[in-house]
Amino acid sequence: MSNPQVLRRLKTIEGHLRGIIRMVEEDAYCIDIIRQIQAVEAALNKVSGIILEDHLNSCVITAIRGDDPAERERVLKEIQEVFETATKV
Amino acid sequence: MSNPQVLRRLKTIEGHLRGIIRMVEEDAYCIDIIRQIQAVEAALNKVSGIILEDHLNSCVITAIRGDDPAERERVLKEIQEVFETATKV
Amino acid sequence: MSNPQVLRRLKTIEGHLRGIIRMVEEDAYCIDIIRQIQAVEAALNKVSGIILEDHLNSCVITAIRGDDPAERERVLKEIQEVFETATKV
Amino acid sequence: MSNPQVLRRLKTIEGHLRGIIRMVEEDAYCIDIIRQIQAVEAALNKVSGIILEDHLNSCVITAIRGDDPAERERVLKEIQEVFETATKV
């Protein structure tokens, strides 16, 4: 995974998170902090979606077309796992 | 998708949901109702995970190995979409 | 909790869920089933929000204004718990 | 909101996020990156829960016991809103 768009988004999120830390230090209103945390989470979800898209269009295609059944199974299992975790966080 | 385990789980969830309707009719405590709704959602997430696993191991493998690039792209796009929705519900 | 709007929404969701069971029985496309399950989950989230609103405006106000500190603590703890579960399902 | 535990957790999450940025720069495996993002989201959910707990036990109690019905309504509405957003991210 080396995608300039992903890197740029993550750095923006890092700035957003530093802003939240500052809010806590400056004793901001609780609900405003929670809302900013939820915005960071939504932005992280977006990044995960972009990374998954890249992954599906590269590693997953390669593995499924490859000759190694164990590798194929591993790659598909991973997708199911990140999906299941996605429904939990 | 015709998986007896999925069908059985969905019917159990239907029974669970009917129990929640009864709780509302009988004026149960709000928080107890919310907890039961959250339990139904967790059970639905589990079913989605099972269906996705089946899908990855059948349609997705077939499409990726097939000769139709548009079909392949469609199938991968769908996975990304259900993943992105999963991070939102 | 005895709210006609909640009851009506839950019965609609029950019908939606029965439709999903039928889709599985009739061997519908996996991704279409997952999408319908995600729609049911979004509808359930909406119902939980309505129930919580009612709860905040009745039981929670009563408990916080009441003279029983243990009851007050219990009611606030419950809200935190359903919030924490909500971030996980 | 000025809670040393919240501040400490957010700074740990900031370090975690910087680690993820490094993973992307060093071209780490997509799925490993997604898993780390999901771990950061779970940690952020935990922080939100702690902040909400503080909020319920301070501002919310004050507002509900206070004499201003508009303020009370505002505070309860906010809780419902962060709950509804929590079920979406």
User: Residues A26-53: pLDDT tens digits?
Assistant: 999 999 999 999 999 999 999 999 999 9
* pLDDT (mean) for B19-42: 96
What per-residue confidence (pLDDT) applies to D88? 75
Q: Domain segments of chain C: what residues? A: 4-88
User: Residues C34-57: pLDDT tens digits?
Assistant: 999 999 999 999 999 999 999 999
pTM: 0.92
Which A positions 29-68 lie with beta carbon below 8 A of chain B? 45-46, 48-49, 52-53, 56-57, 60-61, 64-65
The interface predicted TM-score (ipTM) is 0.90
What per-residue confidence (pLDDT) applies to C89? 55
Confidence of residue D14 (pLDDT cuts 50, 70, 90): very high
To which residue do tokens 């806590």 refer?
A: A24
What per-residue confidence (pLDDT) applies to D1? 59
* pLDDT (mean) for B40-54: 95
Q: Are D79 and D45 in contact (CB under 8 A)?
A: no
CATH superfamily to which B4-88 belongs: Metal-sensitive repressor, helix protomer (1.20.58.1000)
- Asked if pLDDT for residue C87 goes beyond 90, the answer is no
In DSSP notation, chain C reads ---HHHHHHHHHHHHHHHHHHHHHHTT--HHHHHHHHHHHHHHHHHHHHHHHHHHIIIIIHHHHHSS-HHHHHHHHHHHHHHHHHHTT-
Residues of B in contact with C14 (CB under 8 A): 14, 17-18, 21
Neighbours of B11 (CB within 10 A): 14
User: Residues D16-50: pLDDT tens digits?
Assistant: 999 999 999 999 999 999 999 999 999 999 999 99
> Which residues in C9-45 are b (16+ Cβ under 10 Å) and which e?
bbeebbebbeebbebbeeeeebbebbbbbbebbebbb
To which residue do tokens 């990156």 refer?
A: D33
D89 in contact with chain B, both atoms CB, cutoff 8 A: yes
Say how far apart CA D2 and CA D22 lie, in whole Å.
30
Residues of D in contact with A13 (CB under 8 A): 17
Q: Are C78 and B34 in contact (CB under 8 A)?
A: no
- Asked if pLDDT for residue C85 goes beyond 70, the answer is yes
Residues of C in contact with D57 (CB under 8 A): 76
